[in-house]
Structure 1
Amino acid sequence: MSIYTKPHWKQSILITIDTQNDFTLPNAPAEIKGTIDVIPNMIKLLRLYREKGLPILHVIRLYKEDGSNADSCRKEAIENGSKIAVPYTEGAELVASIRPSPYSTLDAKILLQNDFQSIGKNEWIMYKPRWGAFYKTKLEEFLNDQNIDTLIFTGCNFPNCPRTSIYEASERDFRVVMVSNAMSQVYDKGIQEMKNIGVNVCLADEVKEALQSIK
């Protein structure tokens, strides 16, 4: 492991990607198979980050009912009546088991204007308009302001939003960890591709072990 890619756990943030009801729950409108199965490993890490007082960021999608903010691959379907992660609906909310307690529901007004919604001590939600979490968002500025240099990625549908966000993070010289068993739709070739760009690919228990050594 290079000295330039080795995680700095004390300066890390745990990121969940698109772990919302409409993408996660069985038979949901845009269910990504396997996401519900990785929730227990996500919970394990969320609990530990909360116990340690380390930062957590939930990155989400929101689709206006008129399709005006939709990416091109979903725009026509939403214009024709498909409802996916519609603001102020339960489908857009984080899956109940990963929420902090107490929990404030998503404030679409705040999120859609590219601001961060605080939902607990050192815990936030942000909206991304496309696959990558850095695209037309304030994420890089937010991370720098928090003195964070290590990003721990978990969540929904590796081939799309997590992978894009990981590449964007790597382009900005952040140290990156991909928790392979806390992310859905992971495959062997993708893991190798991540390792090829210096991403630390590990399991939830390995992250837990590293974090437990932090005083």
Structure 2
Amino acid sequence: MELGYDSREALCRTISPGDDFMTQDSEREDPVADLRPHWDSCALVVIDVQRDFLDGGASPVAGTSGVVPHIATLVSAFRAAGRPIAHVVRLYQPGGTDVDLPRRAMVHAGARIVAPGSAGAEIPESVLPARLDARALLSGEAQPVGPGEVVFFKPRWSAFYRTGLEGWLHANGCDTVLVVGCNLPNCPRATLFDASERDFRTVLAQDAVSQGTQERLADLASIGVQITDVARVLSALGELGATRQGMS
């Protein structure tokens, strides 16, 4: 079920129909028109779904293993719909320092967490059967893994930080991002805020992200993130496919 929050309603009430937003005239009477996802120009962004963050991994994040099947379902649906998919991963070189501050001392001391080339750095096969090309990713390249599907390496929280994600989204004609993955208060949240700052329409599938709480979801809804679930996304993609078939 999609969630509604007083904070979102307060945000919407501050928008006057006369405000000069870059919307079509037919949308200007609708205060949330700029927030609704465009599924026909939506990309799926999968954050930090790597084995070391799953149960039994080197640095498990509670709840991540439980949402992997839902993430795999969305990945399969986006592939079937011909929509772009970006997997965004962390790679910590043992002994290195290009690491977020909370883990920097530990990794610099030699801790092996999502170490390049390790089994723990890989994405679960149910989500992505291809292996990561750590050398290419660390050099800043996007790794193609299928039609319209790539992997990016991010050195910090946001999937937009020192990556080619924004350019890739524009090149694929995307104005909407659906974010899923590991540990909502950290990387998914940072990614959603950065996406919103870049005027992308933002969507979060609450049952395909770990560490979600009502307070954290409300925080995101207050900046216009649309909170939904896997079933509703699948329904939207199904309607999109039916519309395309009807037009062919």
Tell me, yes or no, whether TM beats 0.5.
Answer: yes
**Is residue 166 from structure 1 mapped to residue 166 from structure 2 by the alignment?**
no
Q: What residue number does 1:9 align with? A: 39
CA distance in 2, matches of 1:15, 1:99: 13
Give the CA RMSD over aligned residues.
Answer: 1.1
- State the one-letter code of the partner of 1:151: V
CA positional deviation for 1:136: 1.9
Flag the structure with larger Rg. 2
**Is residue 188 from structure 1 mapped to residue 214 from structure 2 by the alignment?**
yes
Contact 1:67–1:76 under 8 Å retained in 2: no
Name which of structure 1's ranges 54-63 and 135-144 shifts more when overlaid on structure 2.
135-144
**Is residue 41 from structure 1 mapped to residue 78 from structure 2 by the alignment?**
no
**Is residue 54 from structure 1 mapped to residue 83 from structure 2 by the alignment?**
yes
C-alpha deviations, 1:155-203, integer Å up to 9, x for none?
Answer: 0000100000000000111001000000000000111111111110001
Name the SS of the counterpart of 1:111 in structure 2.
helix
C-alpha deviations, 1:104-163, integer Å up to 9, x for none?
Answer: x11112111221100111111000010011112221111111111100000000010000
Contact 1:166–1:176 under 8 Å retained in 2: yes
Q: What residue number does 2:101 align with? A: 72
**Is residue 155 from structure 1 mapped to residue 171 from structure 2 by the alignment?**
no
CA distance in 2, matches of 1:21, 1:199: 28
Contact 1:35–1:156 under 8 Å retained in 2: yes
Name the SS of the counterpart of 1:44 in structure 2.
helix
Following TM superposition, the consecutive aligned residue runs of length 4 or more in structure 1 with deviations greater than 6 angstroms are none
Which of residues 102, 108, 111 in structure 1 aligns to 2:137?
A: 111
Identical amino acids, percent of aligned pairs: 38
Give 5+ residue unaligned stretches, structure 2: 1-30
CA positional deviation for 1:81: 2.2
Q: What residue number does 2:49 align with? A: 19
Give 5+ residue unaligned stretches, structure 1: none
CA distance in 1, matches of 2:182, 2:227: 16
CA positional deviation for 1:68: 2.5
Q: What residue number does 1:85 align with? A: 114
TM-score computed with the length of structure 1 as normaliser? 0.95
